[in-house]
């Protein structure tokens, strides 16, 4: 119960990594403000939590929505101790010679500006709270050119760098800032924007999960709970001297397979 009496704000909370993190932090005593554009998913999550998880609609592409989220969390509970900037989706898929400005901007707004403004609007409610911790979801795509489309990878690279700069800026307020770089995690992100009926989507998710199970040296795909556990560590006092860095949680994806010689 490391987070008893603490408040956590989690974005992208209705599914995948965000949902697993809400459940993990709540299971360790936190009150969790769970934010998403998926109202049905967010309310369903909150409904199963005995009041420990409170859903708040928030589109992280909207600056007023983000400010309203942080103000709501502080009004409800008195302040914010843990912020997990996590909402996301696949960005514009085109290579740099075919991308258009609107797709580029959309990707940056969703994946990078959202994190900057999340931090911006949470900090007034985090300052002076012992152990305050911000965790941002980057990606293996931030560390490698081969993992994702260009705009997504650039945005995630920005999240990584922003995490370090924010850590430097906010150390004077006693707030730690770190990023997590997930590898191939079995969530709905790969099919979220596909126009498929529920049955076909479930089938596609199953096929992607099989790919994930075979993608890295560790003989299973990543689970949302793998990332949730890392968030809990970074949010806890066990990580009290860790700031301005990232943790790669990829089952060895980036080291590649080990061949026997």
Which two tokens mark 256? 């590649």
Reply yes or no on whether 193 is catalytic: no
Query: Taking CB under 6 A as the rule, does residue 14 contact ligand NAD?
Result: yes
81 binding ligand NAD? (CB under 6 A)? no
What's the rounded Cα separation, in Å, for the pair 143 and 222? 18
Find all residues with CB under 8 Å of 55, minimum gap 6, and list them.
Answer: 13, 34, 35, 36, 39, 42, 43, 45, 46
| Residue 139 and residue 158 in contact, taking contact as beta carbons nearer than 8 Å | no
Nearer to ligand NAD, 15 or 133 (CB): 15
> From the CB of residue 193, how many other CB atoms can be counted at a distance below 10 Å?
10
Per CB under 6 A, does 105 bind ligand NAD? no
Q: Smallest distance, Å, CB 15 to ligand NAD?
A: 3
Q: Please confirm, yes or no, whether 156 is among the known catalytic residues.
A: yes
Separation of first and last alpha carbons in the chain: 47
Q: Among candidates 82, 56, 81, 54, which has minimal Cα distance to 69?
A: 56
Ranges within 182-221 binding ligand NAD (CB under 6 A): 182, 184-185, 187-189, 192
Q: Which of 8, 9, 10, 17 binds ligand NAD (CB under 6 A)?
A: 17
Return residues touching ligand NAD (CB under 6 A). Answer: 11-12, 14-18, 36-38, 41, 58-61, 86-89, 110, 137, 139, 182, 184-185, 187-189, 192
Residues that are catalytic: 139, 152, 156
């Amino acid at each position: 119960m490391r987070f008893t009496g603490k408040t956590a704000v989690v974005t992208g909370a209705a599914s995948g990594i965000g949902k697993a993190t809400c459940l993990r932090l709540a299971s360790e005593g936190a009150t969790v403000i769970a934010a998403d554009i998926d109202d049905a998913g967010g309310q369903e999550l909150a409904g199963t939590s005995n009041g420990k998880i409170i859903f708040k609609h928030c589109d992280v592409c909207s600056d007023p929505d983000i400010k309203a989220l942080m103000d709501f969390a502080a009004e409800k509970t008195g302040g914010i101790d843990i912020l997990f900037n996590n909402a996301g989706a696949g960005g514009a898929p085109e290579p740099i010679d075919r991308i258009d400005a609107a797709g580029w901007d959309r990707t940056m707004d969703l994946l990078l500006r959202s994190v900057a403004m999340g931090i911006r609007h949470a900090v007034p409610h985090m300052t002076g709270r012992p152990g305050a911790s911000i965790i941002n979801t980057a990606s293996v795509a931030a560390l490698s050119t081969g993992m994702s489309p260009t705009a997504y990878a650039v945005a995630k690279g920005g999240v990584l760098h922003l995490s370090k700069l924010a850590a430097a800026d906010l150390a004077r307020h006693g707030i730690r800032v770190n990023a997590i770089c997930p590898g191939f995690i079995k969530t709905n992100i790969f099919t979220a924007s596909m126009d498929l009926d529920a049955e076909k989507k479930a089938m596609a998710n199953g096929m992607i999960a099989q790919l994930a199970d075979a993608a890295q040296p560790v003989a299973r795909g990543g689970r949302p709970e793998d990332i949730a556990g890392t968030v809990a560590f970074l949010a806890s006092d066990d990580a009290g001297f860790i700031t301005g860095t990232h943790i790669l949680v990829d089952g060895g994806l980036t080291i590649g397979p080990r061949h026997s010689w």
